[in-house]
Structure 1
Amino acid sequence: MSVTKQGETKADPDSADGSALAGLIARAGSFRGPAPVHLWNPAHCGAIDIRIDRAGTWHHEGRPILREALVRLFSTVLRREADGGYVLVTPAEKLDIRVDDVPFLAVEMAVETSEGRQNLVFRTNVGDVVTVDAEHPLRVAEAGEGEGLVPYVRVRGGLDARLARPLVHELADHFEQRGAEIGVVSGGQFFVLGQVSEGPANDGAELSGGAVSA
């Protein structure tokens, strides 16, 4: 099986038959935790038929990859390129993959206090644990008409996680209003998530853009 810049690989994620995907698995398997992908500049070897859907599920050739260990392994060699694309990269090769939204999903949230400061901590579906701070900011984006605002957190190296729906409701419990802005505090920073809007039809205030949702 070959990989070209025009084509895509054809391989079973569970195979070990010398295919491009099996080779990638073997090489990536030497890493524990995120690999130093920012240091690598291998040749571009084309595209591989791997897609991460909006729910954070990884697919190969249209089928979900069910082995959690394999998904976590791939996540350690995932990199976002300057043009916004995503690649799986090792010191020897670089392969394009498709990402529908962002690659990760935040699935658990904890609130900790350190030295009198509140910290919001998220765990992703691939095992990253990240504290919201200046290097790992929280942001919101418009999800579409009627869907409100969707929160994201920076995980590492330009890779973001979208907050799962239950976490959005947990996050709302920690909203603060400062002037016309609504946001949350973490890591000594105030992260603005929306603006207060008032009108004749409103008795109070609400987030502009609609309710926060995922």
Structure 2
Amino acid sequence: MPYDPPPELAGLSLAQIAEQVAARNLPPLDTWDPPETEHSGMRITADGRWFHRDSPITRPAMVRAFASLLRREDDGRYFLVTPHHKQAIDVEDAAFIAVDCKADGDALAFRLNTDELVLAGPHNPLRAQGDADTPAIYLSVRHGCEARLDRSTWLQLADIALADGGDLSVGSQGATFALRPA
């Protein structure tokens, strides 16, 4: 089945973004609890590239398929989960990279490196890590996984914060998030 990537984030209205987010048909990982079997031989590097046994996974459709099965446990370990298998996967930093951002009304929308759209808010909060000189902003995605904002997306978000009052915080869907590490 061919994959039609969604239109550019800047060209979508908030209603269109919300519609695409709601239309995702992701597996119910929260209801699956198979026993851990083995390591998958896979890893995700800090820049968002996926590898299997040190060979890059270059097909975006494969990355999207594996990403839909990704879960982070309470102990911080990552797993690929199906109804019958649970295999460990190494993640260097965050499972995803946020590559674009758009403010629309009282919402912030992000596009991930997997073409997934995420609306920041109480269920998908932003958090700041690092220090004032080298901040890192993370967006909660799903199943304990996060996306780290790439540099250009962080700069987009900083521009939004400065335009809204200059205190380096942003609001989305009724929640406020500091862009400076505590």
Separation (CA, whole Å) in 2 of partners of 1:177 and 1:110: 13
Q: What residue in structure 2 maps to residue 58 of structure 1?
A: 50
1:153-172 counterparts in 2 under 5 A?
A: 153-172=139-158
Q: Which has the larger radius of gyration?
A: 1
**CA offsets 1:87-117 (integer angstroms, 9 cap, x no match):** 001001110010000100011111111xxxx
Q: What residue in structure 2 maps to residue 90 of structure 1?
A: 82
What is the CA distance between 1:176 and its match in structure 2?
Answer: 5.2
If the length of structure 1 is used for normalisation, what is the TM-score?
Answer: 0.68
The answer as to whether partners of 1:34 and 1:75 remain within 8 angstroms in 2 is no
What is the CA distance between 1:44 and its match in structure 2?
Answer: 1.2
The answer as to whether partners of 2:103 and 2:160 remain within 8 angstroms in 1 is no
Q: How many residues align?
A: 159
Q: What residue in structure 1 maps to residue 116 of structure 2?
A: 128
**The one of 91, 104, 126 aligned to 2:96:** 104
The answer as to whether partners of 2:127 and 2:137 remain within 8 angstroms in 1 is yes
Separation (CA, whole Å) in 2 of partners of 1:123 and 1:73: 17
**CA offsets 1:11-37 (integer angstroms, 9 cap, x no match):** xxxxxxxxxxxxxxxxxxxxx742111
| Structure (1 or 2) with the greater helix fraction | 2
Q: What residue in structure 1 maps to residue 62 of structure 2?
A: 70
Separation (CA, whole Å) in 2 of partners of 1:36 and 1:169: 34
Q: What are structure 1's unaligned runs of at least 5 residues?
A: 1-31, 195-207, 210-214
Separation (CA, whole Å) in 1 of partners of 2:84 and 2:66: 15
The answer as to whether partners of 2:126 and 2:139 remain within 8 angstroms in 1 is yes
The answer as to whether partners of 2:71 and 2:143 remain within 8 angstroms in 1 is yes
Give the letter for the 1:130 counterpart.
V
**CA offsets 1:182-213 (integer angstroms, 9 cap, x no match):** 3111111211222xxxxxxxxxxxxx78xxxx
SS of equivalent residue, structure 1 residue 174: helix
Q: What are structure 2's unaligned runs of at least 5 residues?
A: 1-23
Separation (CA, whole Å) in 1 of partners of 2:168 and 2:111: 24
SS of equivalent residue, structure 1 residue 175: helix
Give the letter for the 2:78 counterpart.
Y
Separation (CA, whole Å) in 2 of partners of 1:65 and 1:33: 23
If the length of structure 2 is used for normalisation, what is the TM-score?
Answer: 0.80
**The one of 125, 132, 139 aligned to 1:137:** 125
Moved over 3 A (4+): none
Separation (CA, whole Å) in 1 of partners of 2:101 and 2:95: 18
